[in-house]
Amino acid sequence: MGAFVASVRQGRMSGGATIAGTVSLSGRDSSGGGTASVRLSPAGPGTGIWFNSRTRATLSNAHECGHATCLGRGVRKVRMVEHLLAACYGLGITDLAVETAGSALPIGDGSADTYVRLLRRAGVVKYETGPEPARLKRPVLEQRGTRFIAAIPARGLTITCLTRFPEFGAQFFSVGVTPVSFLRDLARARTLARTNLSPAALRKELDLRFRLKRAGRFVCAERRRFTDEPCRHKALDLLGDLALLGRPLEAEVFAYMPGHRLNIAFAREIERELEA
């Protein structure tokens, strides 16, 4: 299959990739502070990303659940898959076997960087053949009240995000998504927790190494990695949900206050408007 172990290089994403070996991670489950674990293994070209050998990472299997994206239903449900899927998209990984224990993936530090490190430790194996890019026939708009996501046809993928949380003010972020820009600008952006727990209690529950603080409805990192970290994380979550297309998207995407329910509805609308 002409595979080679590749370093991540700048440029448009093309071809397909898996990982060179099996790696595992254990940590806290974000939904309740219990233990969760995941094992990632190589998969053959064209396989796609599968969870527990029965649920493929596709829009038909996805839904929003408690401010996260879930795959599957009932006892087969796996929660908070978006950070792993964003890492796969950012590194160009198209084929992967994911085995989980627990109802969610480990939260790590609340960003995709946990999974970037895990995948890179396994080694990224690139090959020339891969899924065809997803190209739009026409512009797409999905709206829920004042929130919206729109896309127009383009080469490559650009995500532009605007958020307006009262706790953080208006924030704006835009990035042309490549492996290099993903690692530099998106992967390390951490999530916000909407919780009544104190920062100290949440830090202990999730076994985090950095201090937290309360900001209105949210608990977040005391020291930001980016001045606009909340906005960047919303863009990261959107990228993870767009990975459910199973193909690299070529579009300019504009999002105002995106969230998982809106992201998934938008991705489904994208799926209906793709070129044959």
Residue 129 structure tokens: 């053949």
What is the tens place of the pLDDT at every residue in 199-210? 999 999 998 999
What residues act catalytically?
A: 260
> 134-272 has which CATH code?
3.30.1700.10
Other C-beta atoms within 10 Å of 13: how many?
A: 22
Predicted local distance difference test score (pLDDT) of residue 74: 79
**Which residues, including other chains, have CB under 8 Å from residue 142's CB and lie 6 or more apart?**
148, 149, 150, 262, 265, 266, 269
CB 35 within 8 A of CB 25: no
Predicted local distance difference test score (pLDDT) of residue 32: 66
| CATH 3.30.230.20 domain range(s) in the chain | 4-127
**Which residues, including other chains, have CB under 8 Å from residue 166's CB and lie 6 or more apart?**
216
| CATH 3.30.1700.10 domain range(s) in the chain | 134-272
Residue 2 structure tokens: 């002409």
Q: Helices 229-242 and 260-272 meet at what angle, rounded to 10? A: 40
Q: How far is CA 162 from CA 81, 106, 152, 201, in A?
A: 23, 28, 17, 31
CATH superfamily of 4-127: lpxc deacetylase, domain 1 (3.30.230.20)
* Better-scored residue on pLDDT, 103 or 64: 64
Considering the chain, what percentage of its residues have pLDDT values greater than 90? 83
What is the tens place of the pLDDT at every residue in 143-188? 999 999 999 999 999 999 999 999 999 999 999 999 999 999 999 9
Average pLDDT over residues 18-38: 89
